[in-house]
Structure formats: structure tokens, C-alpha cells
Structure 1
Amino acid sequence: MYKLEYPWLLALLPLPLLVYWLLPAYKEEQDSLRLTFFDYISSSLGLKPQPGAVVPRTNWLQKLLAPLCWGLIVLALARPQRIEPPIQKIQPGRDLMLALDISQSMETPDFRTSDGKRLRRVDAVKQVVGEFIRKRKNDRIGLIVFGQAAYPVTPFTLDHDAGLQILDQTDAGMAGPQTMIGDAIGLAIKQFNNSEAKQRVLILLTDGNDTGSRMPPRKAAEIASQNGITIHVVGLGDPRATGEDKVDYNALNDIAKATGGQVFHGENRVELEKAYATLDKITPQNFKTLSYQPRRELFMFPLGAAVLLFVGCQLLMLLASLMIRLFSRRREKPEEATTSGVFKVHV
């Protein structure tokens, strides 16, 4: 699509006509040579003296090219532009951090596939979380894994393929045997410090209870709430289990409640998928689509055409003048010499 940046400048097109009609003709006075016997000289030459002026005349080429050049110059001043197809850019409105427990207890093969085969907790989590990430195309997603310590795996990014590759390489026990939930929340808070998103969400997944974080989980949740971070918690495993690996849902409820989040139970593969499906609904993708249309300036084409026409016209007139002079010289012929005969007269 083509457009003019300043279309109102086209009103200048009739300006030369207005100048021609409204302004008086340009006159230039020059000194003349006074002759004492001017009347005698003019009468002897057969000329009749009369007042007058030298009026420059234009030829048909000048009359044609002058308005054309003016129109091209005015068109260049109006800045013709070509509008390129729009380029759309998606600006995420939410930063989403996933904190995954990969302690030694995630090795437990108490999940089952659809055909009844046993599946480790960590493998089920990678499958469900991977599908969750694929659906969130317009959210910046970061990833934290934790066990005996918490580690940032990927920063907030729209490059979800890189995050999925790293998630696929993650395995249970890589971060140690224990579960430091409070430290994972504290690390997430640091990751959010550089975030400018209005909505900040942390989805924490664990299958156990905190085993000695430097920052108590409840305290970490309160700090997260002060920083505008909402924490949703997904607990894995049977809540009726006993021992150190039992999921502490009371503590998880306190974490979620302190930040306005929710707690989900993932006792099996189906419940885990339901939990992340619900999270996908309660945290809908929030983004803005920015559209930008590149503009290509085209003023140089009419301006260049006007310059070429003007220069070409001047060169053509100069060439015509030279040719006229050349032909006029060829037409001039020198006087032929005459010879006289000698006659004898007899008387």
C-alpha cells in the first residue's frame, strides 16, 4: 500500500499559475547607449524607433517539462511512502516460574501409564509439565529445580523449546536427596526481581516436606506475597502415607494461602494432569500483540526524476543551439569572384 505522509502539500500544485496570474511580470532595466545622431542612423537603416522590451520566449519543450518538474517536486515534498505488511510482536503480560522437586523420592515408581505400566514420579512430572509448557506459547516461562539445594535452570524466556530440552535431561536425585522448599521459593523471588511483568506466578511441585531450608517456607511465601508473587502448589504422592517422605499438605496450604494461590493434589497421573489443566485455566495467557508496519520512503524517485528532466532539458537546448549555429554557418557562402574580359574596339 502506498500513501503520502503530507498529502496537504499537493495544494501547492497550482502555485505557479497563481504567481503567473496575480503577480506582475518581472522587469529589469538596463543602461542604454545614447547616440547623438540616432534618428539619422535609424532612418538610413530603414528602422522606425519605438519603445519596447526584450521578452524572453519559451519553446514547447520548456512549456511541457516545467509543470511536470514542478509536480514531481511537490510530490517529493509530500513524502510518498510504501507501507509494508504489518509485523506483529507478542509482548507477554505474565512471567511464570515452574519450581520442580527432583529429590531422591521422585524416583518412586508409583505412577502408572494409560496401559497400566509403572512410571516414576519424575517421568510423569516431565510429561505433564512439558505438555503444560507447550500450551503456554505467549508466556515467559522460567524453570527451577530443587532438592538439597535450589538451582535456576532457565531464566524467563519465550524460547520454550530450550526449556523443554533441559527439562527432558533433568532426572531425580540430580539436586540431592533432600527437599528444600523454602530455598526454592527464595530463589524464585530473586528470579522475579528482574521481571517487569504485572502478573507473577510461581507453580511449585513437590512430593515431600521441607527438610531444613535456610528460609522457612512460610516466611518465604510471605516475602513472595510482598513482591506480588502468587504461588500455586502441586503435591505428589499419597497424603495417607507415613514417614519422612509424606507430603505435608498443611505446610503447602500455608504457602498457597499466604500468596492467594491454590493447592492441588497429584496422587496419580490423572490427578496430576487435572491439576495442571486447572492451572492452565486459572492462569489464562496474558499478552499484548504489538503491530508495526515498516515504511519505505519513496520521495527520492520523483525528486530524482525532476532533476534528470531539468538537466536533460538544459542539455537538449544547449545541443539544439549548437546545431543551429553549425547549420547557419554552413548555409553562409562566400562571394564568388568575378572576372572582366578585355575587348578590343576598332575605330
Structure 2
Amino acid sequence: MVFANPTYLYLLLLLVPLIGWYIYKLHKSQASLQVSSSEAFQLPGTSSWKVYLRHLPFALRMLAIALLIVVLARPQSTNSWQNSSTEGIDIVMAMDISTSMLAEDLKPNRLEAAKDVAASFINGRQNDNIGLVVFAAESFTQCPLTIDHGVLLNLFKDIQPGIIQDGTAIGLGLANAVSRIKDSQAKSKVIILLTDGVNNTGEIAPVTAAEIAKTFGIRVYTIGVGTQGEAPYPIPTAFGVQYQNIPVEIDEQVLKQIASTTGGQYFRATDNSSLKEIYSEIDQLEKTKISVQEFSKKQEEYKNWALLVFALLLVEVLLRNTVLRNIP
């Protein structure tokens, strides 16, 4: 049993002065005039049972007060326990949102496929702080590290190509992700960097950003998204959307170097199923390691205690006004 308001239990200390006052009043109520004892003339077994029970009403009242304090502390039972594992892993997802992510070699396009798979990944990491960084020619933080995955998933819906200047600044995106996680106190710090291109802008080189990540003990998993060869790319025209095949260029050498430098791994996603498998593999690689036990359901138990308080007070009133009634 646990208590929702355990500090109220300190009120039980008030029973000590109440009991002391009762003993003091009992002592003061004794007759001060001493007379000869009649003990020699008293027959065995003639003492009234009421004499032995004269303190019972007070005892019932003290017990009722004690139980009332327990009621105020709100006793609760926890009858549903579950075992879970957690290591306090913090994860920042760095996602490329350049216009090339609109290519439709993944369905419906690279960006939407990446968002869907990432959302499933987030839903499976309930114990982890997760943040989101997006980048194109520039980089900004879409969501800082948070355990509120509902907020994070809502912010995922808002990311689209074109909200920042077009380009692919892999080094800048990685450096921004590092700045968001470097001060974390978690036992394990991870960045998942997803891109479909080659670093072509930004003030920070990808390898330099990887060295910075290594300095802070951050592991980086890199994912190259795109099919082999060419991919259909939608181009708006006056006659509607036209498709043009564009070459798929992913700087795999740089992505592998980033992963190798930081102790992570590089993956290549050529379609939706391979992208799902990659996130599943990362999920397995970063499995939590510390077992904890927590309860998932609490049930209020104060009602039974409250009924017992009422019953004790009722018995006390009945005794004081019937068989144990005092005559002034």
C-alpha cells in the first residue's frame, strides 16, 4: 500500500499530547480525600466489568482520529505491476528536408516515408528523451529533447521541404544535433542522421562535426536514402506535375566515416521496407539495459478506512451514552 499524500501521516504525532492530556485529566479527577480502604471487605469477583472498560471510549476516539488521518493521506493499492527496461537513452534525429527528399523512389516520397518510419520508431521508445533537428542549406531545431512524444510527433507533421533554404548541409545538421544532446546526463547519447545527398554547403564539414560528436561520447547512426541509379522527381509545370528521372547521389563515403568515427553504423535505404528494417536494427542496437519495476494502476482504498472511522465513532457515542455513561 502507498499513500498519495504521505505528509499527512505526520499528524499522527498529535495523538501523543492528546493521550498525555487524557492521563493528566484522569489523574486530576481522582478524589483528594483519603479514607480507610474497604479492600478487606470486598468479595472476590464483585468488581464491575465497567471499571475495566471505562477507558474504552477514549481508546476508540484515538483510533478513529488515527484512521481519519490515514484517510486524509489517501491510501492506495497498486495491484498491476509491470517490468520494463530503461537506460536513459537520449536520441536526436537529424533529418534532411532538402527538396530532393521529394523524389518518389520511396512511397509516397522519401521524406514522408522517413517521417512514417521515424514515428513508429519513436512510439517504440517510450522511456527515452527524443529530439528532432532538420537541415537543408541551414539547420534548426524542430523539437528539443523531450519525453512527451505526442508533442514530438505533432511537430514531425509540420516538416516539409522549402521551409528553409534549399541545399544539403550535412555537417551543419550534425553539429546542431550535437549541440542539442552534448550536455545530456543520459548514459547513452545517440544521433540518427538521415540524408539523400552530398554535403554541398554549410560552414562545418561533416567529418569535423563527427569529431565533435566523438568528443562528447555521442554515437551517430547515418542513413542514406535513395534507390540505385535514378529516381523519379516531381516537377510542377503549367500542365501539371511532370516527372523527371534524376541521378541518386549519396556521399556514402562521408556517411560511413561519420558512423565509424563515432562508433555508430551506416545504413542504405533503397525502399520503404529496407528503411523500416534499418530503424528496427537501430532499435535493437540501442536496446535498454536496466530493469525497473513500476505499477501501472492505482486504486483508492480510503473508502473502507472512512467507514471504519464512522463505525468507531458510532460505537464510542453509544458506549458513552449507555453502559459506560458517566454520572456527574
The bucket for the TM-score relative to the shorter chain is 0.5 to 0.7
Deviations 1:185-205 (A, max 9, x none): 222122114522111111000
1:253 maps onto 2:245 in alignment:
no
CA distance in structure 2 between the aligned counterparts of 1:101 and 1:299, rounded to whole angstroms: 59
1:62 positional shift: 3.8
Contact 2:61–2:316 (CA<8 Å) still a contact in 1?
no
Look up the SS of the partner of 2:137 in the other structure.
coil
Look up the SS of the partner of 2:223 in the other structure.
strand
The residue correspondences of 1:143-158 to structure 2 (distance < 5 A) are: 143-158=132-147
CA distance in structure 1 between the aligned counterparts of 2:273 and 2:314, rounded to whole angstroms: 76
Look up the SS of the partner of 1:136 in the other structure.
coil
Q: Select which of 75, 78, 81 maps to 1:85.
A: 78
Deviations 1:10-29 (A, max 9, x none): xxxxxxxxxxxxxxxxx998
1:227 maps onto 2:221 in alignment:
no
| Aligned residue identity for 1:180 | A
| Aligned residue identity for 1:93 | G
| Aligned residue identity for 1:199 | S
CA distance in structure 1 between the aligned counterparts of 2:155 and 2:32, rounded to whole angstroms: 90
TM-score w.r.t. length of structure 1? 0.62
Look up the SS of the partner of 1:137 in the other structure.
coil
| Aligned residue identity for 2:270 | E
Of 243-252 and 285-294, more deviation after overlay is shown by 285-294
1:210 positional shift: 1.7
| Aligned residue identity for 2:250 | V
Look up the SS of the partner of 1:85 in the other structure.
strand
CA distance in structure 2 between the aligned counterparts of 1:138 and 1:249, rounded to whole angstroms: 32
CA distance in structure 2 between the aligned counterparts of 1:30 and 1:251, rounded to whole angstroms: 105
Look up the SS of the partner of 1:284 in the other structure.
coil
| Aligned residue identity for 2:221 | H
CA distance in structure 2 between the aligned counterparts of 1:166 and 1:226, rounded to whole angstroms: 30
The residue correspondences of 1:230-245 to structure 2 (distance < 5 A) are: 230-238=219-227
1:214 maps onto 2:214 in alignment:
no
Query: What's the RMSD between the two structures over aligned residues?
Result: 4.4
Deviations 1:150-175 (A, max 9, x none): 11112222322322222222212322
TM-score w.r.t. length of structure 2? 0.66
Which residue of structure 1 aligns with residue 166 of structure 2? 177
CA distance in structure 2 between the aligned counterparts of 1:125 and 1:195, rounded to whole angstroms: 26
CA distance in structure 2 between the aligned counterparts of 1:311 and 1:214, rounded to whole angstroms: 84
CA distance in structure 2 between the aligned counterparts of 1:300 and 1:130, rounded to whole angstroms: 47
1:86 to 1:210, Cα distance in 2 relative to 1, 3 A: farther
| Aligned residue identity for 1:97 | V
Of 260-269 and 88-97, more deviation after overlay is shown by 88-97
Look up the SS of the partner of 1:141 in the other structure.
strand
| Aligned residue identity for 2:169 | M
Q: Select which of 123, 127, 149 maps to 1:138.
A: 127
Which residue of structure 1 aligns with residue 186 of structure 2? 197
Q: More relative contact order in 1 or in 2 (CA 8 Å, sep 6+)?
A: 2
Contact 1:76–1:302 (CA<8 Å) still a contact in 2?
no
CA distance in structure 1 between the aligned counterparts of 2:295 and 2:325, rounded to whole angstroms: 54
1:314 to 1:282, Cα distance in 2 relative to 1, 3 A: closer
CA distance in structure 2 between the aligned counterparts of 1:202 and 1:306, rounded to whole angstroms: 62
The residue correspondences of 1:64-75 to structure 2 (distance < 5 A) are: 64-66=53-55, 69-70=58-59
CA distance in structure 2 between the aligned counterparts of 1:93 and 1:300, rounded to whole angstroms: 41
Contact 1:104–1:176 (CA<8 Å) still a contact in 2?
no
CA distance in structure 2 between the aligned counterparts of 1:103 and 1:319, rounded to whole angstroms: 89
CA distance in structure 2 between the aligned counterparts of 1:205 and 1:158, rounded to whole angstroms: 22
CA distance in structure 2 between the aligned counterparts of 1:294 and 1:239, rounded to whole angstroms: 57
Question: Which has the larger Rg?
Answer: 1
| Alignment length (residue pairs) | 275
| Aligned residue identity for 2:90 | D
CA distance in structure 1 between the aligned counterparts of 2:301 and 2:185, rounded to whole angstroms: 33
Which residue of structure 1 aligns with residue 114 of structure 2? 125
**Can you give the 5+ residue segments of structure 1 that lack an aligned partner in the other structure?**
6-26, 33-50, 114-118, 323-347
